[in-house]
Structures are given as C-alpha cells and as structure tokens.
Amino acid sequence: MLDKKLLEGVLRNYYQNRSEEWVQLNFSPSGLLNITVVSDVFEGMSKKDRLENLKSQLEEGFGFGFVYLFTVFEADELELFYYENETESYTPKTWGDLASVYRNNYSNAQQNIETKPAQHSTRTVTFYSYKGGVGRTTALVHVANILAKRGNKVLLLDLDLEAPSLHMIFNKISPIPQYGAIDYFYERAYSSLNHYQIHISDIIREVHLENTPGRLFVIQAGKIDFSYVSKVDDLRVSALQQKNVWEIFKNDAISQLHPDVILIDSRTGINEWGAFSLLEAADDVILFMYPNEENFEGLRLISEGIRNVKGLGKNVNFVLTKVPSNKEGKKRAEVYWERISKLNVQQKNRQTENDDEYEIDEAESEFKDLPLIIHYNADVALSETYPIDHLTSVYAPVANLIDEETEQNRLRVILSGTNRWDIIESLEFETVDAKDERNDLSKVFQKTSDFDKFVDENTVVVHGQKGTGKTALYWMLLVHFDQCKKLSKGRLDKVLAVSGHGPYSARPGKEEYRYLDDKMGESFSWETYWRAYSVLRLYIENKLPPFRRGKFSVIYDKLKLVGKNNKNWTKDHTVILLQLINDMDINILIKDYLIYINDEYSKRDQSVWLLYDDLDEDIQERSSYQSRVLAGLFYFIRSIDGQKLSNIKFKVFIREDIWERLNFTNKSHFNGRDVLLQWSRIDFLRLALRQSLYSRQYKEQVDKFFPIQDIDNSSEESVLNALQILWGMRREKSRNSKYVGRWVHERLTDASGTTFPRVLGLLLSAAKEHELQYIDQSHVPSPTDRLLRSQSLNVGLISAAKHRSSEIKEEYPELENVFSRLHNFPDICTKLDLESLFNISMAKEGGAIDDFITTIKNIGLAKEDFVKGEIQYRFADMYVHGFGMKRSHGRKL
C-alpha cells in the first residue's frame, strides 16, 4: 500500500513554499489518487502543463481521480481553503467513509487519539448479521428479557427498516403505537420546523414482563402500511446525519427513560441502514453468523473495518448461531471459531500496536476467547412470539457481554467527570509491615475470616507463613486494643494484653538465648525459664497485682533490681532471669505466685493475655536448642492449663514451617486450639479497598457511585464494584481475560494457597508510581475506565514478587543454592527437572529428592499437578516473576 503521508511530504516539499500554499490528497476506496494543490509554481502554466508538472514529482504512475491544481490567486477567487481531512478528524459513518479510512491507512493516525469519554451511562449495542435468517432478532429479544430480569432498564430499537419484525414478536405490548422509528426520524430529517408532531413518548411502548425487577421497552420500526413503505423509500441516512438526528433521538430516549442499555436490531448486509446501525449508532457490536463461508467472509470484512479504526472505540464480539447439536455441528463450530479467534488476534495486534493501555500478561497470552454458540432449537424455530422463558439460559452468555460493557461504560462516565491524575496522586498504599513504625497499622489493618478464631480465648497457636499478618495481630492487641475490641464484638472487653515476648518492648535475642542455654543448670528446664520470664514481663509492663510484703517478697526483691526498663534488654535482665530459674526455692515459689496472679485477675473479672512474637528471629534458626526452647514454652502453657489458671491466657505467633517441624510431647494438646492464618480473596480485596479509601478523592467517587457502609461485612461483589474505579473490571478487553481482582489475588498467592497481604501494598504503590510516569506523556492514551492501567499493575506485580522472593530466601537460608538457580528454570517442569535442580544445589547437603520435593511444596514454592496421567510441578506465579523463571506458556509434559 502506498504511504499517503510520505507522498504528501514529497509534494509539500516542492509546492508548499509559503503559508498560502497547500497540498491535500487521499486515496479513494478503489485506489485512485484524489489531490488538490494550491501553489504559485503553477503560475503561467496551462492545465496540461500543470498535470505534467505534478506527474514529474511522482516517481511512479498513479491512477488519478479528482485532480485540482490552482495558483494561490485562483484558489482565493474560488474560495478554496485548506481543511483538515475529515477522515482523520472524525469517525466514519458510512461504508464509503470506512473504506476510505481503511484505504488511506488513517488507523495509525488514530492510535494516539484518546477515545472521547462517554457523557452518559447508557450503552448502545447493535446486533448485526451479514446474512439474514441466522437468529439475530431472536437472540436480541431473549437477551433483552434476561437483562430486564437482572434489574436493567432495556430499550429495543428496530432499525431493520426494510424487513421489520419486532412489532410482531412481542405479544405483550399494549396498546400498539401508531408511530415508530421511521416516523420520528423522517420528521426530524425533512421538517424545516423545530416543532414536531411525533415525540419520543409517542413511539415507545413497554413490554410487560412478570416477576421482573427491570423494565423492557420497544420502539418498533413503524406501522406497516403504504405510508411506511413510502417513508422507507424516501428516507436517506445522509439526511439524518446532516441534522444529527441520531444524537437527538438518543438524548430524547435517555431523557424519557434513562435506560441502562439500548439494543438495536440492525439491517443485514452492506447498505446504508446497516452502516448507520454499526458505525454511527453503536457503542458496541455483536456479530451473529451461521458457521459457513459466506457469513464468515462478510463479517470478516466488517469486523476488520471497524477494528482497524481505533477511534471508533467499539468492542466487537462474534456469536455462532443455529449450530446443530450433533457431532458435525460441533466440528464445524470449532473450525469457524478457530478462524474467528485468529481474526481477533490479528486485529487486536494491529489495534494495540504502540498502545500501552492493555498490556497482555504472559500468563494469559495463551488463552483464547471461549466460543459463544447458540445451538439450533426447534422450539425457537417454530415459535411466533418470544421470549421463550425456559430457553433464556441459552442466551445468557450474550447477555453477560452486554452487562460487562455497560458497567465499563459506567466507569468511563464516572472518570470522565474527574481529574484522574489528582485522584492517583492522592492514593497512598501501605506495605502492611507491622514492624515499620512509619505505617499506621490502625488504618490498614484488615479483619479477616480468621479473626474471630483468633480472639477466641482458647486459641493458643497462631501460625502462618511470613507476611500473612501474625505480627499485625500482635501489634493490634498491644497498640490498637480499642480498635480490636470493636472488631471482636465484646470478646475482648475483659482482656488485658501484655507482650510475653516480641518487638513491642525489650526482650532477649539470639546471644541471650545461646548464653542462657549454656548457663542453665541441668536440673532446670526451658519450661522454668518461660515461667520466670512471664513474671518478669508482667513486672516490666506494670501488670502485676499490687505489691504486698509477705510470701512473694523474695520475687519482688529480685524483680526490682532490673527496674521497669522496657526499652532495652540489659545484662541485668538476663542475670535476674538466671537467678529466678536456677534457684529451686524461687522457682517453686513462682508457680505459687502465678496462682496468686490468676486469682487477683479473677477477682477483677479480667484475663491477662501473654502474646509471643518474633520467636523465629530471637531464637537461632535450626540451632541445637531452638526446638528445646520452643517446646519449653508450650510445656509451660500446658502446665498453666493443667493448674486450671483460667485467667492467664496465651497467644503464640509462630512461623508455619517452624510449627510443623516442632515435635514435643503432647503437641496434640493444641489441636483445635490453633489457627492457620490464610487470607481469602474477599479479605484480600477488602484490604485493597480499605487502603484506597484513605484517599479522600477516591472515597468521594466510591460514596457517590458504589457506596459501602461497612467494608468488613460487604459482599465480594460490592467490594469489587468499588475497586473497579481503581483497576477496572478485566485486565484486557477480551471477555476471556481475567477479572483484575482475581488476577491480583492469584498473583500474590503461593502454590500452597497462602496469600500475602504485606506485598499487596507494594504492588499497588509501585503501580501508582509507574502510572504517574504517564502524566506528561500526552501521546500515550490514558485508560478511560480505570485509574491504574494493566501495564502499571504488571510493574507493581514484579516489584511485589521480588520483595516476596527476598522474604522466602530469608525464611529458608538452607535453600539459598536452590533459589539462586531458579533464574531461567522452567515454571512447569517434570520430576527429572527437579532432580537436576536438587543434584546441582542440594546434593552435598544430603537428603533425598522426595524430601526436597516435599519441602518446596510445603513452603508454597511449587505444587504438584496431574496432566494426562503424568505428574508435573508448577511454580507459583509470584516466584516465577520474583526469581526470573522461564515461562512454559502452559506446555503439556
């Protein structure tokens, strides 16, 4: 194809020497060159000489259409002026316009033009077929019925003016209107007055549907008589376009009904009414076809034309209809859907070149749209009125398309009235790292479905992987106790939370535990340590009962030697602890003292909860004494239970793999008294929304369009609706693309099903920063239905994945050689692949391959799948990104 812009440049370089001179050209749909040149180069030349002069500037011969060659004076005399090429500045409205746009390759020019945001939420969807008899109108009626039953207000418009049928299909319209679309359009196209006899209310009738929360309205083509025939023959689409009748009609319809969606039944074939329905009236298009060559060829051309011009901004979907349910019908449908899928990919590739709005994620690039098929049904074929209620489920997938498109348009309307950059800049996402004092945990804490189990006084062990929120719960009870009380609905009203060990206040660390293990006498145990340490903690936190001289004075005298310094752990703390432990008399006395403490709290009708966190950091990992120290803690808790000291309770926050490895007598005592922290998708989404709502500007939009009274008790659907403003509905325009909420949750979930809320804030924060890079890049179109484009979320995912991968390396230093060799290792592999990885990285450490595989499964690095009877191992997507693994694109092993 000849390059129009290059040719224009050549001619302008020769003819356009001053501002009054200009060149304008385009190619007709048949390939002829239409050209106008205004230049004083032609001064004194005859028409023949001017044409020869023009030809001399062209390196090859052209077939010429219209050729106008004038001097500046002649152009002024004829009142000729340069004007911007209409084909570049507005969307085509006729088949001829579309062909011209396609022929002149203006789609490239359109790619950097942002689609104009919708001004209202009503979406117009045209049902079109190249050939008749494929069940298009039947589908339209059933889809309208489904949408109404879902609570939508639906308006049907019959624009199949040369073969109208909607007025015959419904038997529930009363009374039958005397006028229709043809009368309304005709009057506005040809009347010279602004006072019309036929109004929108005169042509609308309601279809009365039982047990339907929505409403269904119909505008028929008109009353079929000779007056109708005359108007159809007389009325030209060009007349409607000259007076902008479609916009007048749509505004009237919206003003009268405020419909959620307008469905148009279009004329078939390549004619002016079909072009009007598709190019001018439609926001989105659904193409219906029987799977054969003549249908496919016609729709291929139309689809290519619509999609080639990005400025049209229309979603195009295909539906195969009247497909036989037998084996041959299934095979034929598969063949044609494969051709449609290839066509969609080709056209999408052209449409998204140099377009950063919808970056295809590698993990989804192998997916194709699932086929939309409506099988032949005798009940439908033989019926004279529709809809047929028991068959509506057949058309539900088509209705789903429209529901989503309508919702996306609503988002465009919401954001069109805002300054999206101001909202984006106002967003602040936290990493939910409870130890980071810069984070306001009270703002970002999310109550999960495990919270009620956690606040149960009988729950002792709180285990989970790093980053699942153990420390957040620890901090909430100690620093934001009042907020916890509200969330617990009264279960914490009589509770006093104290740090038994953890980052809240001073505590012994690795050196101290190593020292204590060396110095502790043989006749004493770690159980005695934890017993004495609990008393010391209560003293430091000023939570002991009032001091009274007497039996327990010796304990008080020891405690007073360290004072109530809760900021720094000193040698004095360690020395006093050893004295309390190694003095048999004091050690036995401490057991009595705990009984006294319990009784005192019982008199106050209170319970004291001792909380233990950071045990993995302060007790040397896999040391000779780690298991003894931790087992001693649980023996101590078991002894308190045995003494029935019911006003002293414990919460031990421990990493999942450590809890699994820990083996001590009567560990089963804690069965049913533990809770494994796992974030469900709704918990995860609530956290994303909670953080977003701390932006006042974002909250204003949510309160206006998707109001939520209580995040913790809101449904997943309502939370997702509110998050659509942030990240849209689907990652791509394809209906088979993942919903963004599901995508984010899956990408931050490991192979064991454990989700990491800590990295959610990292993903969103990095996505925000990447999005802001586009603020001054006017040549890159911004998404109109979301704040954060898919590419920004991709960037955020990489940042979050690398952070989580660093965490797992810290958690399991013994696997360092494995982690370092994951770069370019396949994300889907066989046992032989894992054996190779094991032999290279772990063979010197000893052990067996099966134990190695069990380990990587337990830590959530990979999971085992069965594909066609064979075992394969699939690494979690988060670690694939974090370690830079090689994607297999779903290859079957």
CA distance linking residue 556 with residue 412, whole number of Å: 69
Mean pLDDT on 290-297: 93
- Cβ proximity of 538 and 498 under 8 Å: yes
The radius of gyration computed from the CA coordinates of the chain, to the nearest angstrom, equals 37
pLDDT at residue 560 tops 50: yes
CA distance linking residue 792 with residue 213, whole number of Å: 39
Q: Residues 521, 527, 531, 536: is their CA dihedral positive or negative?
A: positive
CA distance linking residue 240 with residue 173, whole number of Å: 28
Query: Could you report the per-residue pLDDT of 814-831, keeping only the tens digit for each?
Result: 899 999 999 999 999 999
Task: Give the model's pLDDT for residue 355.
Answer: 43
Share of the chain above pLDDT 70, in %: 86
pLDDT at residue 618 tops 70: yes
Residue 156's pLDDT band (boundaries 50, 70, 90)?
very high
In this structure, whether the domain defined by 123-354+363-404 belongs to CATH 3.40.50.150 is answered with: no
Residue 8's pLDDT band (boundaries 50, 70, 90)?
confident
Task: Give the model's pLDDT for residue 81.
Answer: 66
pLDDT at residue 566 tops 90: no
List 862's β-bridge partners, or say none.
875
Task: Give the model's pLDDT for residue 769.
Answer: 95
- Cβ proximity of 303 and 128 under 8 Å: no
Task: Give the model's pLDDT for residue 314.
Answer: 78
Query: Could you report the per-residue pLDDT of 578-603, keeping only the tens digit for each?
Result: 999 988 899 899 999 999 999 999 99
List 319's β-bridge partners, or say none.
288
- Cβ proximity of 223 and 179 under 8 Å: yes
More confident residue, 424 or 77: 424
Task: Give the model's pLDDT for residue 460.
Answer: 97
Alpha carbon separation from 125 to 285, 286, 668 (Å, rounded): 6, 7, 62
pLDDT at residue 106 tops 80: no
Q: CATH: 3.30.1490.20, 3.40.50.300, 3.40.50.980, 3.30.300.90. Which one for 4-83?
A: 3.30.300.90
- Cβ proximity of 351 and 307 under 8 Å: yes
Mean pLDDT on 509-514: 93
Closest CA to 182 of 215, 217, 225: 225
Residue 76's pLDDT band (boundaries 50, 70, 90)?
confident
Model pTM score? 0.71
pLDDT at residue 310 tops 50: no
Domain with CATH 3.30.300.90 in the chain: 4-83
What would the CATH number be for the domain defined by 812-893?
A: 1.10.10
Query: Could you report the per-residue pLDDT of 44-53, keeping only the tens digit for each?
Result: 999 889 888 8
Mean pLDDT on 509-537: 89
Task: Give the model's pLDDT for residue 208.
Answer: 85
Other CB atoms within 10 A of residue 577 CB: 22
Task: Give the model's pLDDT for residue 548.
Answer: 76
Mean pLDDT on 30-47: 84
Residue 105's pLDDT band (boundaries 50, 70, 90)?
low
Residue 112's pLDDT band (boundaries 50, 70, 90)?
very low
Residue 79's pLDDT band (boundaries 50, 70, 90)?
low
Task: Give the model's pLDDT for residue 592.
Answer: 95
Task: Give the model's pLDDT for residue 554.
Answer: 92
Mean pLDDT on 486-509: 92
User: Hey, is 198 helix, strand or coil?
Assistant: coil
pLDDT at residue 104 tops 60: no
Q: Which residue has the tokens 């003494």?
A: 643
Query: Could you report the per-residue pLDDT of 329-361, keeping only the tens digit for each?
Result: 999 999 999 898 888 766 665 554 444 443 434
Domain with CATH 3.40.50.300 in the chain: 123-354+363-404
Other CB atoms within 10 A of residue 595 CB: 15
CA distance linking residue 350 with residue 191, whole number of Å: 43
- Cβ proximity of 46 and 13 under 8 Å: no
Helix/strand/coil (H, E, C) string of 767-806?
HHHHHHHHCCCCCCCCCCCCCCCHHHHHHHHHHHHHHHHH
Share of the chain above pLDDT 90, in %: 50
Task: Give the model's pLDDT for residue 237.
Answer: 87
Residue 170's pLDDT band (boundaries 50, 70, 90)?
low
